[in-house]
Structure formats: C-alpha cells, structure tokens
Structure 1
Amino acid sequence: MTDVEQKTALVTGAGRGIGRGICETLAKKGYRILAADVDLDAATTTAAVLGEGHRALELNVSDSASVDRAFEEAVARFGHIDVVVNNAGINRDAMAHKMTDEQWQIVLDVDLSGVFYVSRAAARHMRERKSGRLVNISSASWEGNVGQANYAAAKAGVLGLTFTLARELARAGVTVNAICPGFIDTEMTRGIPADIHQAQLDKIPMGRTGAPSDVGAAVAFFASDDASYITGQVLEVGGGYRI
C-alpha cells in the first residue's frame, strides 16, 4: 500500500506536453488520473497511454460552466478529487504595440481566468473534505518576456492567485503551491526557430532543456504527504534559468 493509494488527481491541459508528463509521473506514483483537456481526443490518448483505471475528461477551463460540469462528473465518477493541477495554457505572442484585443483576452481567459475557475471548483470540494492539494503551473516568463505581455501578465496573476488561495484554504487543510517551468522540451518549443532555440539554451546554466517529467516530479512533491506543511510557495524548474 502506498500513500497515494485510491487518491485521484485531475490535471488540466493533459492532452500533450507538460500536462501529459505530469499525468505520467503522477500515475507512476499510484494516482488515478483524470486527464482533462478541451481536446477530448488528446485527453483520451493520454488516458490510454496511462493504462487501465485512468479517465479522460473534456474540460474548457475558460468556461466556468464547463468547469463546474466537469467537476460534478469527476466527483460522481471517482467520489473525490485529492489533487488538482492547473496546467492548461496557451500563448498568442506579439509585441505589445501590435497585440490585438483578441490575442490579449484569449490568453487571459485561459491562462488566468481558467486557473481561477478550476481552483474555485476545487476549493469548494476540498473545503468540504478538509484536505487537498492545488498545484498551479505558472512560468519563468511571469517576470516579463519580450512579445509576451499577455502571457507574462497571466502567469504573474497565477502567482498572486496562488498566494491568496494558500491563505484562504490553509485552515481547511488544503495546500496551494505554484511551479514555474523554464525551457521545457515540448512540441511547442521544438517548433521554435533554431537561432531562438539556441538563444534560450544559452540562458540556462545547465545547458539543456528540461523534460515534462521534471515538472511532473515537482508536482508529485507538492502533492505528496511530504509537502503537507508547505503552502504558498513557488518552485522554479528551469535548470537555473533565473540565476
């Protein structure tokens, strides 16, 4: 018997990249996974990769009604949700003076409002149970990055939300922490032009990209009993990117 036996983790943006890596890591630790994604086919693929006992869930984090329905379905299916990982995110990069209203708003809707909607639903459930773990995926870009005014603003907002929720939920036995990944090897980063890719690598003291499993390991720590007295914290997973 492990300390995570029968525990359920819901991961948003689970269809690919970092989200799938988080799911794979938590599944290996013994969690039952609800792989949630706006792309149900991608979420289904993740659940299939994980194996028997794991489920896919269609979830549009930018739609509060969709979030509430998904949580109702998840609780009905598994009875409880012990860990929620807010990983879903998008980017629509542009220099600020060229950024459209649509590019600004859609990133805020998914990357910040989506985290709030999911966290609110999770908080309602976890407060009743007087236990739970919320892990929010922010980004090293929260401090600002050229061409990412929308993304940086959203990811900085995620940290403010994390600190607030940590204060609000502490007495209910719920911890809330954040992870800031750096340059992680995903389909998105592999599509970056070679010169920009190398420029990013040059900023990393360890000289390499991270793997989704590196982020997954950090999530697994915050979700574990070993982190039961840790809340309102931010962990950088970036190979020294911000040194």
Structure 2
Amino acid sequence: MTPQNVLRQSRAPLYLQVAEILRQRIARGTWREGDLLPTLSDLANEFSVAKITVRQAVKLLEQEGLLAPRRGRGTTVLPQAPAQRPLKVETRLADLLEVYSGDTPDLVGLEDRRAELPGSPEIGTPAPEGYHLLRRMHSREGQHYCIIAIYCAVPVFERHAARLREELALPVLLRSPDIDIRKAHQTLVIGKSDDETASLLGLAIGDPVANVRRILCDASGQILYLADVIYRGDYIRLEMDLLA
C-alpha cells in the first residue's frame, strides 16, 4: 500500500500523519544527525499532499527539537536525546526481578482500597478473604511508563502492607520467605490508550499500549497476586530465544 493511501485511511489530520512518518524515520536512523531532509516539494509528491501540509509537519518537528531550518541549506536533523532504556517483557518469573531493578513506584497512588478481582482470571481461584487494590504509576528516568493495578490477597497484603505501599510489589512478594509461589501466568495484548491512560502516561488518545496481566498462585491454586499493567508502547520490547 502506498504512503498516500495509508494517509487517507486515518481520521487524523494529514499534517500530523506526515509528522509521525518523519518522526519515525528519524527515530529509526533513516535520517541521521546533520542529514538534510528532502525538499518540501519532494515530500509533498511522496505523500500526495499539499506543500503547506508538509510545512506544518516539519514545523511541528522543529518545535519538538528534532529538526532545524538552515538558511540556504534546507532542514537538517538535530542530535537526538539518548533513547530510553527499553522494558523487556520477560517470560520467566525470576527474570522479572532484574527488569525492575532501579525503577521506582510513583508514591502518589491512584487507588488504595479493598476490591474484588477484575473479570475472570485465566488461572487460579479467588482468596476467600478478598483483595486489596493498589493502583499507581511506575517511573523510569523521570518518565511514567506504566499504570499498574495490583490486587493482593488480604492476608498477604496485611503482612506486607508498609513495603507494598512504598516499594515495587513483585520483588517484595517473590523475596518474602512466607510467600510460596507455585504457579505464575502472564498474558500480553496490544491495545490503544484511552483518555485516562493518555493523560497519565503522556500519550495521545489511540497511541499503542501493551496490556499485561500477571497472576501468582500458591500450592492450592489460590490467587495471591494479580496485576493488570498498561505499558507505554514505546517502552516495551519482547525478546525470545527460539532455541532455548
């Protein structure tokens, strides 16, 4: 499918779509620091849009600090900030501890209350005592990268409430000798950000996100921990060793 056909399928303004294509080319290294962009006429022809549309897109990227006009030369690509450290979606429970090393929970929590488990969990049975919900954001290098809703079985939560409110929950649970995890399950689904997610994570409505659910069960199959996590799509990287 040609670029112009793709542009016509979206409801977003054309200049925003062109800006995103140019932004991605810079991010992927198609254009590097100091490179000159094609002329407005060339870009307008490539995308089958008016030159004013391309000019608006370029102006937007100039405001973002990605491009700069050079008198008599054209528009050049500026040095880019170092890319954020990606968050690997591990497929082994032990490896998750290393992933979260150095991260911090946002201490301004969104919710802290008793709650029922959401939906129908993929594995396990609910704890008869019920659950405590901690909903908050996690940060990495000053950037909120996920919203997490943690449902912890009440007996477990009451024993570790102080630490669970101040620290990352998964390391607390996995390193506590009184908690015996015998089964763990994780699912990942790609979705789009809604208005609340966009506002909290600094995204646009409809931007890609990764929805992850993690469930930890004890030997009897009782759910001790269930977490629903919404990650920024640009912070997620899934790697798998196919020969392992």
Relative to its length, the structure with more strand (as a share) is 2
Normalising by structure 2, what TM-score?
A: 0.25
Structure with greater contact order relative to length (CA < 8 Å, sep ≥ 6): 1
Relative to its length, the structure with more helix (as a share) is 1
Normalising by structure 1, what TM-score?
A: 0.25
